[in-house]
Amino acid sequence: MNNNNDTAPLTFKEKVGYGLGDMASNFYMGFFGLFLLYYYTDVFGISPAAAATMLLVTKIVDAVSDPAMGLIADRTDSRWGKYRPYLLFAAVPYALLGYLLFLGPDLSDIGKLIYAYVTYTLVMLAYTAINVPYSALLAVISPVAEERTKATQFRFVFASLGTLCVGAFATPLVGWFGGEDEVLGFRLTIILFAVLSVLIFWITFASTRERVKAKHHESSIGEDFSALIKNISWVVLVATGILVVVGLVARFASIVFYLKYYMQDDGASIFLIFDKTALLTSCGLIGQLIGALMTPMLAARFEKHHLVLGMNLLHAALLGLCFTIPPEQFALIVIIHSLGIFTFGVIITLLFSMYTDCAEYGEWRTGKNTAGLTVSASMFSLKFGSAVGGALPGFMLAWFGFVANEVQTDSAITGIRLMFNVLPAIFFVAAGLLMYFYRIDRETLTRLEAELHERRSLDTAS
């Protein structure tokens, strides 16, 4: 199976290499989360309601592909392992399809909508093909929960850096590449991030290895799903992930609208090359980076699920405070936003560590290693949450009478403020309260790790 060093600490090179993979993912996903709804409504010319419906429908269809990809990855056997090959072979299709998303062809209104449906569905399927195996890789790079938490920390440090790069440099790059032509600016900017994504995914492939070698997968798909659904802590974690992501994506999709229409941001630089959008996004993502860096220290002191509960409630309280701040107090909004995204940095790092804890717990109970299915089904929840969170602002814009590139009514401004602050806060409160039902604590993990190590040693001996 694996050698006697399988429980040795991960090297710095391995942790950095693994973490870089989510930087590559977030060059695209961060770009989509921050700018796609704006691009569709204000640049490409799709109505807010049509864009919101498209984002919701395509994301839900795409989310169904996650468990299927997990089942495929669990049953993959190659000289590179189960999960690493997808980093090598899916990177280029992912990059090319992301470019097509922002190609901006001159079409009729219905043609634009069809183009958006097709290209967004394809790029998200490519994301599934590379990100599900990447996430499942965490479960097999070490059999030790503490080492996986450290790897997760590196993952979300680099994820934050990736999104930070997008938030800080995307709007200046769009302006620099395109000038008055935003379509050209978005098109050339996405090419730059596409090339970087491919190169970094290949670095992740080259610098990681699968230490935990599972036995040949013999159980049926039905048996795998049955075992997963019976894992109550996993069910709780999935529901929590949905709620957290709905709240976060709804807030991030609202940033451009909040600053442009509520705070009257005209795109002018206010600090070096940064306009208000770039500055708010960048400071928030620095907060997320700090949160990810502090997670192992916090997890060593507190139970993971207690941290997730507390951080969600704190984030909700901060958003309630942010709702009361007038538009001229931009600095205060930046501070509160950054503190809120700090809590998310802790939460998301813990969630992905807890997904692999659930995979270990499932193997301990059933004897079946279904890391790919466990993590991919969890990613289904994140994509579903992303679909709902990305669509809700569009529906709210339509409901409150928003009209792109016009002076907004008081009703529209109220809707923008609600979707930036109050809407996410509701989902964070619900996510925090769900953690009361999570059952895998530190003592349980220590016990099951020891038993699994003994079983794997016996398998090797036989």
Any domain includes 401: yes
Any domain includes 302: yes
Residue 63 confidence (pLDDT) above 80: no
Q: Are 356 and 139 in contact (CB under 8 A)?
A: yes
Contacting residues for 8 by C-beta, under 8 A, at least 6 apart: none
Any domain includes 215: no
* Average pLDDT taken over every residue of the chain: 87
> Residue 251 sits in a domain of what CATH number?
1.20.1250.20
Prediction pTM value: 0.73
Any domain includes 400: yes
Average pLDDT over residues 100-109: 91
Any domain includes 228: yes
Q: What is the pLDDT of residue 2?
A: 44
With 0-12 CB in 10 A as exposed, 13-18 as middle and 19+ as buried, what is 431? buried
Please write the tens of the pLDDT for every residue from 296-341. 899 989 999 999 999 999 999 999 999 999 988 999 999 999 999 9
Cα–Cα distance for residue pair 262/35, rounded to 1 Å: 17
Q: What is the pLDDT of residue 149?
A: 81
Any domain includes 310: yes
Cα–Cα distance for residue pair 307/297, rounded to 1 Å: 12
**445 is in which domain, residue-wise?**
12-209+220-457
**CA nearest to 219, candidates 71, 46, 115:** 71
Any domain includes 7: no
Give the distance from CA 444 to its chain's centroid.
28
Cα–Cα distance for residue pair 134/77, rounded to 1 Å: 15
Cα–Cα distance for residue pair 136/171, rounded to 1 Å: 33
DSSP letter for 274, please. B
> Which of 172-186, 194-208, 235-249, 442-456 has the weakest average pLDDT?
442-456
Residue 271 DSSP SS3: strand
Any domain includes 1: no
Q: What is the pLDDT of residue 217?
A: 54
Residue 371 identity (one-letter amino acid): A
Based on the structure, what is the number of domains in the chain? 1
Please write the tens of the pLDDT for every residue from 335-388. 999 999 999 999 988 998 898 888 888 878 777 766 677 777 777 777 788 878
> Which of 40-44, 142-146, 345-349 has the weakest average pLDDT?
142-146
